[in-house]
Every structure is written in C-alpha cells, then in structure tokens.
Amino acid sequence: MDCNCVSDLLLTPPVPALWTPGFAFPDWAYKPESSPGSRQIQLWHFILELLQKEEYQGVIAWQGDYGEFVIKDPDEVARLWGIRKCKPHMNYDKLSRALRYYYNKRILHKTKGKRFTYKFNFSKVVLVNYPLLDMASSPFLLAQNHFNGGAATTDCSPVTPEALQSLFPRLPDSGRGTALFDRATGAPEGDKLRLDTFPFLGSGASCYSKPPSMLGPYPRNPAFDYSWGFNPYLPGALSLNNCPKLPPGSLYPSHFYPNPLQSGLAQLPHPFSSLLPPGETTGTERVQTAGANSSVGGQAPRLCIPSYPGSLLQGRTELGILGSGIGERERGENTNITGVGGGGIGVGLGLGLGSLGLGSGGGVQSPSDRRAGMKQDPGSDSELEITDLSDCSSENENEPDFSASQGKENRIGGRPHIPEAKTAGLGGTLPQLSSLPPSISPHPLKSLVPLSPPPPSLPTSLSPSLILVERHRETETLKLAHS
DNA sequence: AACGGAATAG
DNA sequence: CTATTCCGTT
C-alpha cells in the first residue's frame, strides 16, 4: 500500500491491443507456479532491467567484459531495489548479500579488483528466462566447443567474446580473448559454467531463425539498433517503449516482458521437433555439427529429452527447470565437460531445442545431480519468472516513505533523477544513445539479433542464414515425418 | 569493500 | 526458494 509498487498489472493481461499477438505471454510467464513461494521479481532481473535503461546509466551500467556491469551508485541501486521490493531499509550491504547468493548459482560473479563490479553469466540468465527458446541454430554452440580446449581463463563468463564475436562481428572485442569460462580446467567450480553457455548462444541465434514477429512488433531497420539495452529478450526493449501507460523511463511497470520465447513458441511449427529420435534428425545434425568438429559425430547424442506431447505449455515448466538446471550443479560439470557435455551440446543444438535437455545432460532427468550434496545446492536455478511487475502488494512493513527513510543521501529528491553528472567521470559524458556507436557497448546481449548477413569470415557452417535455411528445411522434413 | 554464516521472512 | 537482516571476518 505504501509502496507504489505495481502488482496487479501483472495479473491482468497486458493491454492486448498494444501487443502484437505474437507477443502475448504464455500464462506461465505471469504465474510463478514453477516455484513455491511467491515468485517475486528477482534481484538479477531487476539489475538487468536497470541495466537496460539508459536512464540508469549513471547508477549502474555495463562496463568491461561481456556481462560485466558496474554499480556506480550502490546506494541508489539499493534504494531502487528497496522500492521495488518494498523494503525501505534496503541498502547496498543487503543487496550485495543477495548478489552474493548468486555466485553459487552462477548467475553472477564478482569481478575481483573492481569495486562494485559484477558480471553476469548470461547463459544462465537467458536460460532461466527463456528455457524454451529454440536453439536449433546453434552455430554458437559449435563455436563454443573450442573453448573447452582453450586455456583456462580467469573469469567465468559463459559466453566468450570469441563466440560472440564470431557470431556478431560487430560486437566489441572487449574480451580479450580470455575468458569466458573461467577455469575451464579443473577448478572445482569452474566447470559448472560450461554448459550454460550454450543455451545462451543458442537463444541468441534463435532470434534470427524466427519469424519476424519474434523480433518484435516494430520493425527495426538498422541491424543493431537496440538502444543500449539491447537484449531483445528483455522487455524493456519492447514494452517500455510501447506501452503508453508507462513513461518511457519508468522502471516499474516495465516489467512486462514480452517474452520472445513465447512468441517463438507460438510460431514455431514444431518446437519440439528436435526431440525426435536421433535417427530422424540426422540430416539436421549433420549440418549443424559440421563446424563443430565432429565432436558429436560419433557420439550418439544421448538425448534424453522426453517427448512432449504437444503442449508446449505443459512442458514448459519442466523444461524451464531443466534448462536452468543445466549448468548448474557442480556435479553436472563432469559430465559435461568431458565430452559428454560437448557431444550433448552439439547435438542439442543441432537438434534444436535439444540443447535444453542435453545441456543438463543430466539435467533433463537426472536425478543424479539433483542435489548432489552441495551444501546448498548452488544449482538452484532461478527459473523463470520473467515478469513480475509484481511486487509488493502487501509488504508495507509499515515503513512508509522511502524518501524519508532513505536518510542519508537525499538522493535527488528521492527518485528518478539520475545522476547523470556522475557518469562524466567514467569516460566523459555519455553520448546519446542514438549516437552511441554500436560497438562500444559492452552489452553482452546487445545486438543479438543480427539482421545483417553474416560476415564472410564466418564459416559457412556457422552462418546463421544458412542455418536458417537449413532449419527450415529440417522443420519441414520433420513435419512430414510427423504427419 | 567483499564475503559468507545464521536466522528468519514470505 | 529467494531474499532480508545481522554480523563477524578478511
């Protein structure tokens, strides 16, 4: 009550008229049934949300490696988070504790040495949010494979710049090659990340393999023209701008994420086509794996994905979970890493959605990892929860005004002013988004929807467009098979 | 600043 | 489960 949080917005369908049909969210997107307890917005979602908005660049922004962001104004971020959660006493100390909990889940990592700097493990994030994204076109995956071999790196990001680079040449090459996966080698924990990657990549790829609607209701001409934010997956890109009710910069109600996944699913002919028996998919596989070194070739991909009958909705939860489970368990790592993972992955991609199941290798149904015993099972995913505008319906805590309680900083009146000024320190004034050269944004997900043709340098096998074609063919084939 | 245990809330 | 709150340590 006291909080001006919006909660009902979520409960009712988002202004249908405003949304392209394809973008309607599946019911589950609104309903956190997947997890017990009220599924409120999760911190990392919130962070992403802030990160996505230019208005908050003075407070938090992408910086450094892919997925790396800096909280420029910890107090402000905490304040905003507190508002969102109706926790007037929120502060950076507490918020950071929550952030730390993400370490084990591998959603986030701390960038050591840099104050207030953290790094997202996007694969995980994406996966979690869009478990069903069709990852059929997974040139990425393939690309990823080499990482394993690569020298260990120090950081943990799942998506290597390399990979991204190959996919989206326009992305800045900030990642000096290193790292993505942090210790590919045997660090006990390092490996966990491995699988996660794929999903992410895959999902990115899927963008272009999808029907236009996937790209959003509004045509975007310039290839990489997502504003800073980028991520086609995140809501902001679409919802914020288009929803009349919401002020463009308004963080709050924005949480309506048009979930691409969903639209994708809606449109895909057979999202699960990939689940078909391996034999059937050979053709596909071939194509996909071509580049991937044959890792897959020999290994019969053990796809353990159960076939889902038709209803996507039904399966979605499961999948989601699975997906998120994917890289998670530490345990899983062995599996993956060794080969199996590689094989699985490749296959998964090749197959299309398969990545999900495979990824976890065990994930799919492997009870094995399930709580292998980790102390707290870092693997717990933070599954879906895409949306949530939610929030505090009842929280109140009787701490009425934030502004008051904020105490210390009279942060600019209490709200949306953004300390733009501060940014100057970081590198001068921020250019207008529009004027911002596309390449400077470290935004990891940015430009994931390449509209332009792949660069010549891209191996044909990895060419998105080719894959697209291939996929289409594949799909058709499968359809026939099915019928 | 950053970390992580412990208790606790929802 | 995901935080929130506290808090001692590094």
Give the bases of strand B that a protein CB approaches within 7 Å.
1-6, 10
What does the block give as tokens for A377?
């099972």
Averaged pLDDT for residues A206-217: 26
Over residues A320-373, the pLDDT tens digits come to 333 333 333 333 333 333 333 333 332 323 222 323 333 333 333 333 344 343
- Sequence-separated (6 or more) residues with CB below 8 Å from residue A17: none
pLDDT at A83 over 50: yes
pLDDT, position A121: 86
Average pLDDT score over residue span A155-159? 41
| Å between CA of A374 and C1' of B2 | 23
Structure tokens at A92: 């950076």
pLDDT of residue A128 exceeding 60, the answer is yes
pLDDT band at A431 (very low <50, low <70, confident <90, very high): very low
Lowest mean pLDDT among A3-17, A345-359, A436-450, A454-468: A345-359
- The whole-number pLDDT of residue A482 equals 53
CB of A384 nearer than 7 A to strand C: no
How many residues comprise chain A? 483
Which nucleotide is closest to the Cα of A380 by its C1'? C1
Query: pLDDT value at position A96?
Result: 98
A100 in contact with nucleic chain B (CB within 7 A):
yes
What is the amino acid identity at position A225?
Answer: D
- The percent helix, strand, coil of chain A (3-state, each to 5) is 50, 5, 50
Question: CA A81 → C1' C2, Å?
Answer: 14
Contact A323, A199 (CB under 8 A): yes
Given a cut of 80, is residue A110 above it in pLDDT? yes
* Per-residue model confidence (pLDDT) at position A116: 97
Protein CA A91 to sugar C1' B6 (Å): 19
CA distance A401 to A286: 61
Is the shortest CB-to-strand distance from A38 to strand C under 7 Å?
no
Q: Are A399 and A90 in contact (CB under 8 A)?
A: no
Q: Which nucleotide is nearest to A383 (CA to C1')?
A: C1
pLDDT tier for residue A73 given thresholds of 50, 70 and 90: very high
Q: What is the pLDDT of residue A405?
A: 40
Output the pLDDT for position A47. 94
Strand C lies under 7 A from the Cβ of residue A93: yes
pLDDT, one tens digit per residue, over A44-68 is: 999 999 998 999 999 999 999 889 9
Q: Which of A141-145, A265-269, A285-289 has the highest mean pLDDT?
A: A285-289
- Residue A96, nucleotide of least CA–C1' distance: B2
CA separation, residue A363 to residues A226, A299, A341, A369 (Å): 33, 18, 11, 7
> Which nucleotide is closest to the Cα of A88 by its C1'?
C4
Q: Which nucleotides on chain C have any atom < 7 A from a protein Cβ?
A: 1-7
pLDDT on residue A95: 98
- For A224-244, write each residue's pLDDT tens digit: 323 333 333 333 333 333 232
Q: For chain A, give the percent of residues with pLDDT over 90.
A: 16
Residue A429 CB closer than 7 angstroms to strand C? no
**Band of the pLDDT at A5, cuts 50, 70, 90?**
low
As a rounded value in angstroms, the CA-to-C1' distance for A375 and B6 is: 14
Length A69 CA → C9 C1' (Å): 27
pLDDT at A317: 34
3-state secondary structure of A61: strand
Q: How confident is the model at residue A131 (pLDDT cuts 50, 70, 90)?
A: low
Cβ neighbourhood burial of A133 (10 Å; 0-12, 13-18, 19+): buried
Residue A387 has pLDDT above 70, yes or no: no
Q: Is the CB of A370 under 7 A from strand C?
A: no
Strand B within 7 A of A89 CB: no
At A122, the pLDDT band (50, 70, 90 cuts) reads confident
Work out the average pLDDT over A306-323.
Answer: 34
Residue A79 pLDDT greater than 60, yes or no:
yes
Estimate in Å the CA A93 to C1' B1 gap, whole number.
Answer: 10
The separation, in Å, between residue A316 CA and nucleotide B1 C1' comes to 40
CA(A118)–C1'(B5) in Å? 22
Nucleotide nearest to A39 (CA to C1'): C2
Report which residue is nearest nucleotide C6 when distances run from CA to C1'.
Answer: A94
Closest nucleotide C1' to the C-alpha of A87: C4
Q: How far is the CA of A128 from the C1' of C2 (A)?
A: 15
Mean pLDDT of A13-25: 31
How far is it, in rounded angstroms, from Cα A256 to Cα A16?
A: 12
Where is pLDDT greater, at A141 or A122?
Answer: A122
Q: Hey, which bits of A166-320 come out as E strands?
A: none
A398 touches strand C (CB under 7 A): no
Q: Say if residue A75's pLDDT is above 70.
A: yes
Distance, CA of A101 to C1' of B4, in Å: 9
Tokens of A26: 């599946």
Nucleotide nearest to A99 (CA to C1'): C3
pTM attached to this predicted model: 0.44
A124 touches strand C (CB under 7 A): no
